[in-house]
A and B are shown apart, each in its own frame.
Chain A
């Protein structure tokens, strides 16, 4: 495993721990693991991103005790979709749209899954996740490349 992959693994592990222990309780409405998977998609090739998406999707399913491998499927599908879009659309605006699309998909899927539309909660999730992603994207970019890289979304 290369140094770059180890960094990705560490970041995802930290994010998974943050989601499981919820040090900010429910006041911070975001999912770090999902944001981590999207972040990896923007910075790593398809194979590596898919590998991490499957692993962490499985972890999430295991701790949630979901009978169906819901997160595993969702993370894998989102990873493939992001890579497909990144291959066909270029530029910063496209990347921002891809990120927003991934977030909107996650919101719609989870609202359907809970079979209750939580409009205010979904809006807060979108806003707070975008802000958190902006921060982690910057920090991760600096850690990975020692500065900002053009592949960063924002």
Chain B
């Protein structure tokens, strides 16, 4: 075999080896990406477990499988219903224990969840120590209405609420802006949510 033929064979072999290595590299990077996702999932579950054990709250982990196709509503469909003991009015929290929304429609094996920023969402909440108001969702801003003007609210005060049978507060967000209402009797408070719901897939329903 001549020198040029030998060289050609060697080059062909090298390109085959390079091709094989590229494939292996791709498989390995996919495996790394998969394990990173598993690690993130694991971390979220650990946080949720810590929250559950710390507060002694009974919760069920569920997943968001679909959203309402309209961008004007913030409704999600979750993969659990009456089969897992869910009922209308139950609250959903993320892995950090921050409020995400509440169940509005429970079927046998799926349910509809209204997220906090849905325009029809409303909930009685506390701000700071004991100021009581009505949180209402919205696409532009999430507001708390009917806060008495005599309540001394400050920026960054915590917004929270209580579920009657649970002795711990569930946190919603913090005060971002305080405006005086047009009629001068109440304050309008803008809220910054703790839970960044758009990226949530795994959530927990408080039973």
Q: Which residues of the partner chain B approach A30 to less than 8 Å between Cβ atoms?
A: 71
B199 touches A25 (CB 8 A): yes
B71 to chain A: closest residue by CB: A31
Q: Which residues of the partner chain B approach A26 to less than 8 Å between Cβ atoms?
A: 71, 74, 197-198
A133 to B63, CA, bound (A): 31
Chain B, interface SS category: loop
A111 to B73, CA, bound (A): 11
B199 touches A113 (CB 8 A): no
B115 to chain A: closest residue by CB: A26
A110 to B73, CA, bound (A): 9
Q: How far is the CB of B197 from chain A (nearest CB, A)?
A: 8
Q: Which residues of the partner chain A approach B71 to less than 8 Å between Cβ atoms?
A: 19, 26, 29-31, 125
A116 touches B68 (CB 8 A): no
The interface on chain B, measured as residues whose beta carbon lies within 8 A of the other chain's beta carbons, has a size of: 21
B28 in contact (CB, < 8 A): no
- Within A102-140, the residues touching B (CB, 8 Å) are 110-111, 113-116, 118-121, 125
B102 in contact (CB, < 8 A): no
B130 in contact (CB, < 8 A): no
A25 touches B198 (CB 8 A): yes
Q: How far is the CB of B110 from chain A (nearest CB, A)?
A: 11
A21 to B77, CA, bound (A): 10
Q: How large is the interface on A (under 10, 10 to 19, 20 to 34, 35 or more residues)?
A: 20 to 34
B140 touches A119 (CB 8 A): yes
A123 to chain B: closest residue by CB: B140
A21 to B198, CA, bound (A): 11
Q: Which residues of the partner chain B approach A111 to less than 8 Å between Cβ atoms?
A: 72
Q: Which residues of the partner chain A approach B69 to less than 8 Å between Cβ atoms?
A: 16, 19-20, 31, 33, 60, 63-64
A110 touches B72 (CB 8 A): yes
Option from A21, A31, A116, A118 in Cβ contact (under 8 Å) with B70: A31
A63 touches B68 (CB 8 A): yes
A2 in contact (CB, < 8 A): no
A64 touches B140 (CB 8 A): no
B139 in contact (CB, < 8 A): yes
**Given contacts A64-B75, A65-B112, A125-B71, A118 and B66 within 8 Å (CB-CB):** no
A47 in contact (CB, < 8 A): no
**Given contacts A20-B66, A27-B198, A65-B105, A113 and B112 within 8 Å (CB-CB):** no
Q: Which residues of the partner chain A approach B169 to less than 8 Å between Cβ atoms?
A: none
A63 touches B74 (CB 8 A): no
Residues of B within 8 A of A (CB): 66-75, 77, 105, 112, 119-120, 138-140, 197-199
Query: What 9 pairs between A and B have smallest CB-CB spacing?
Result: A25-B198, A19-B69, A118-B139, A121-B139, A114-B119, A110-B72, A26-B198, A118-B140, A116-B119
In the assembled complex, 23 residue pairs joining A and B whose CB atoms fall closer than 8 Å, in A order, are: A20-B66, A21-B67, A22-B67, A25-B199, A27-B198, A31-B69, A33-B69, A63-B77, A64-B69, A64-B70, A64-B75, A110-B70, A110-B72, A114-B73, A114-B119, A114-B120, A114-B139, A116-B119, A118-B138, A118-B139, A118-B140, A120-B140, A125-B71
